[in-house]
A and B are shown apart, each in its own frame.
Chain A
Amino acid sequence: MSRLHIECEINGDDAEFLCDTDESLLDALRDEVGLTGTKEGCGTGDCGACSIILNGNLICACLAFAPEAQGGVIETVEGMADGDQLHPLQTAFLEHAALQCGICTPGVLITSKSLLERNPDPTETEVRYAIAGNLCRCTGYDKIVKAILVAAQEMKQNPIKGARS
């Protein structure tokens, strides 16, 4: 069986790749496109390590078939920084030590980016519910929650230039 040719937009750039129909979008991003920032944790949609944004919706890339990306718009952790300029969430995660082993971090970053786009000024409770689908086995979540709240304030004071909302 021939492989499928998929054309889409990834992190603002036109992209194309070949994939098998039974391949997950996560595997296609990592193995066909070479974007290995998005991680596989459980592979069953429980841990959120593979969180990406597809057509504006936060999803687990492990629970989508790669062909579903056809014509779509994808955002991954690799698209968060602007060159050497880290996204305020990334800066806050570093400054507040909101990561240890780092496997869950790309997913948590994308999830919190998606949250702040919908809700720029979340309460702590809203942050905790929003990241309920992202498991971290290292930090105990407090530092992650704090970093997201700090980043939200930072982004309110200094909006990201040219940010796609």
Chain B
Amino acid sequence: MDYSLPQSVDEALSILNSESNATVFAGATDLIPQLRGGRPEPGLIVDLKKIPSLVNLSFSNGTWSIGAATPVVRIKNNVKLTKEFPGLSEASGLIGSDQIQTRASLGGNLCTASPGADTVPSLIVNDALVVIASNKGSRTIPVSDVVTGPGSISLGVGEFIIEFILQQSTPRTSDAYERFIPRTEMDIAVVDAAARISLDERGNCKEAKIAIGAAAPTVIRVPAAERILQGKKINDELLAGVMKEASKACNPINDKRGTIEYRRQVAGVLAKRVVLMAEKRALDKKENK
């Protein structure tokens, strides 16, 4: 296995073009355990952390850009970003320990393609886009189009994610994230959920986005639950409908973390909690300041 440390996107693309059995990595917090667990060694590992755009975190002209290899601790610690996307920031701060958060990245979290990836539900409800580097030129797609199943992604050979793009959220809009694990730290989601709620001037729900993780082969949106809230003042009756639709949308597995029935029920409970939390935050956030 060879190691390379490209300094630019173009250099990385040309390296990947010359070695078909190559793997890109950022924090290696998933890659190294996989290799130790018996994953066949690639011929080449390509460390993306020296490419400036891959470790960038910046805001300009109403757009956030987060490099795919940027350690998630920088998301958690960014005050402005946290104010705007508190759910995404909380999800970033729940990935493993402090030791993991100095290394783990959004790009790695997404491309490992675990159904329980902590940051993915929040990225999806916030309509995050990814810019993909490719020999055919870069292209931009929604985060929701990247993962196609457990461990599998839509990127082609030789392609990698450069950055995540998030549009500044509008006034009276906020998000929330909840993860259920049997302890308070350092575990993998039994079920997790994110919501983004936009309110109108009267406090009615203008738009709702709800995503559930670890309860299906990929993170899922729950359009039926989102429609229930649209145009309405959120109340207990509507929330009961949200819970029912979130549970119904799940297609979970039975494993040591939870049974199918349990995961379905928890998905409903978490969906309700994140909607309420995002609504409360949206009420508090009258303007972008």
Contact = CB atoms under 8 A, between A and B. Distances in A.
Interface in B169-187: 185-186
A63 B98 CA distance: 13
B1 A59 contact: no
B117 to A, nearest CB: 16
Given A44-B36, A57-B71, A65-B45, A130 B1 contact: no
B41 A22 contact: yes
A114 to B, nearest CB: 8
Interface stretch (A45-53, A84-92, A93-101): A45-53
A60 interface: yes
A156 to B, nearest CB: 22
Contacts of B28: 63-65
Contacts of B252: none
A21 B35 CA distance: 13
A24 to B, nearest CB: 7
A62 interface: yes
A67 B2 CA distance: 10
Given A57-B71, A63-B29, A133 B103 contact: no
Nearest to A46: B186
B38 interface: no
B1 A21 contact: yes
Contacts of A58: 98-99, 102
B99 A133 contact: yes
A99 B26 CA distance: 34
Contacts of A67: 3, 5, 47
A65 B45 CA distance: 10
Interface residues of B, number: 26
B45 A44 contact: no
B33 interface: yes
Contacts of A45: 29, 32-33, 96-97, 99-100
Given A64-B103, A133-B186, A111 B96 contact: no
Contact of A48 (B36, B45, B99): B99
B217 interface: no
A37 interface: no
How many interface residues does chain A have, given as a range?
20 to 34
A22 B35 CA distance: 9
A130 B97 CA distance: 8
Contacts of A46: 186
Interface in B119-145: none
Given A57-B71, A58-B99, A59-B99, A21 B33 contact: no
Nearest to B42: A22
B98 A60 contact: no
Contact of B185 (A22, A111, A129): A129
Given A21-B45, A24-B32, A46-B186, A65 B99 contact: no
Interface in B27-73: 27-29, 32-33, 35-36, 41, 45, 47, 49, 71, 73
Contacts of A44: 32-33, 36
B47 A68 contact: yes
A122 interface: no
Contacts of A24: 32
Contacts of B97: 45, 48, 132-134
Contacts of B35: 22
Nearest to A57: B102
Contact of B36 (A43, A129, A133): A43
A160 interface: no
Interface in A10-52: 21-22, 24, 43-46, 48, 51
Nearest to B77: A118
Contact of B99 (A21, A22, A70, A111): A111
A81 interface: no
A62 B96 contact: no
A66 B27 CA distance: 13
B52 to A, nearest CB: 16
Contact of A132 (B41, B49, B102, B185): B185
A138 interface: no
